[in-house]
Amino acid sequence: MSETTHGPGARGARGPGVHGIHHVTAIAGDAQANLDFYTGVLGLRLVKRSVNQDAPTTYHLFYADAAGTPGTDITFFPWPEMGPGRPGAGLAGEVSFAVPAGSLAWWSDRLDRHAVARDAVETRFGEATLPFADPHGLRLALVETPEDRPFAVWPGSPVPPAHQLRGMHAVRLVVRDAAPSARLLTDVLGFAAVGEDGGWARYAAAGGGSGTLVDVRAAPEARLGAWGTGVVHHVAWRVPDDAAELAVRAAVIGAGLRPTEPIDRFWFRSVYFREPGGVLFELATDGPGFARDEAADHLGERLILPPWLEPRRTEIEAALPRLREG
């Protein structure tokens, strides 16, 4: 055991820690195709229709359970002009979602009926897993879990409640050298190593379970990945509140990394940094949440801008493609 020193604000040798996946953000191609797939095929709810706060003439679309429960949320920047990304080292490679035990036969049939490119069901870490890709090439998987996760049924979904996605299950990271990434996860972010399977090392936050998992594979010879359509932009980890976010941020600085200042994303506060393998991580607070600026039963119906972009609404709306909802 080596002594670990953290910056001011950190508590204990393992750091204050994160408590699971908050959201994953990926780059999509055409916005309409993205919306049709995530709501019409996977049955998620569009809980927020907004813009990329750093490039506000691009949408930022958020899909989740009915309530936008933290950990159920996958978000996209539809950026067709970027061209396809290149999977590889330094990127998150696959996002998996939890589904109830016994659901994969139903889902295999549904993906086939919608002509979605999928693999056969395989077993990973003892869990039945169905890998597939979205229309822009993003690697996804559905994983059967008996766990009863916090989840709000979406009555508007084409997917029956018994088979609806329960939230993100795990993310996969590919890095050239796994040891520094593993040390960040365990010594700074509070993950525990919980097993290895098929060349992947699994880490779990906050006591483990669906929604707390990250799988890391060392690929020393892999070429570096590059952002573009069909790849993950960043993985956001849950922290309960601003104080916890600052404590984890201090621990990240103590580990020699360079996080941003906390940024107000309006629905949560965010800190970004690259982990040692190059993957962009975010810390995101659980609150205030998506119902801050829309009634919970009207989430996602209109374009929502954070207050500082509201004066540019006319210009922004004119630059965005129109979206039709199924």
Interface residues with Zn ion (CB under 5 A) are 25, 236, 282
Nearest to 299 by CA among 267, 322, 274: 267
The smaller minimum CB distance to Zn ion, of residues 52 and 186, is found at 52
> 172: which strand partners?
94, 215
Q: The tokens of 209 are what?
A: 């379970």
Beta carbons within 8 Å of 30's beta carbon, 6+ residues apart: 78, 80, 136
Long-range contacts of 242-248 (CB under 8 A, 24+ apart): 242/269, 242/285, 244/16, 244/285, 245/269, 245/271, 245/283, 245/284, 245/285, 246/9, 247/9, 247/10, 247/11, 247/15, 247/16, 248/15, 248/16, 248/17, 248/18, 248/188, 248/189, 248/283
The smaller minimum CB distance to Zn ion, of residues 50 and 164, is found at 50
**Least distance CB 316 / Zn ion (angstroms):** 20
Q: Are 234 and 25 in contact (CB under 8 A)?
A: yes
Question: How buried is residue 155: exposed, middle or buried, by Cβ count under 10 Å (0-12/13-18/19+)?
Answer: exposed
**Least distance CB 284 / Zn ion (angstroms):** 6
**Least distance CB 22 / Zn ion (angstroms):** 8
The smaller minimum CB distance to Zn ion, of residues 90 and 131, is found at 90
The smaller minimum CB distance to Zn ion, of residues 10 and 280, is found at 280
**Least distance CB 25 / Zn ion (angstroms):** 5
The smaller minimum CB distance to Zn ion, of residues 22 and 163, is found at 22
> 92: which strand partners?
173
Residue 221 has phi, psi (to 5 degrees) of -95, -5
Q: The tokens of 32 are what?
A: 């309409």
The smaller minimum CB distance to Zn ion, of residues 66 and 232, is found at 232
Beta carbons within 8 Å of 176's beta carbon, 6+ residues apart: 89, 90, 218, 219, 220, 222, 277
**Least distance CB 214 / Zn ion (angstroms):** 16
The smaller minimum CB distance to Zn ion, of residues 134 and 282, is found at 282
**Least distance CB 97 / Zn ion (angstroms):** 17
The smaller minimum CB distance to Zn ion, of residues 201 and 232, is found at 232
**Least distance CB 230 / Zn ion (angstroms):** 18
**Least distance CB 272 / Zn ion (angstroms):** 8
> Peptide bond before 80: cis, by omega within 30 degrees of 0?
no
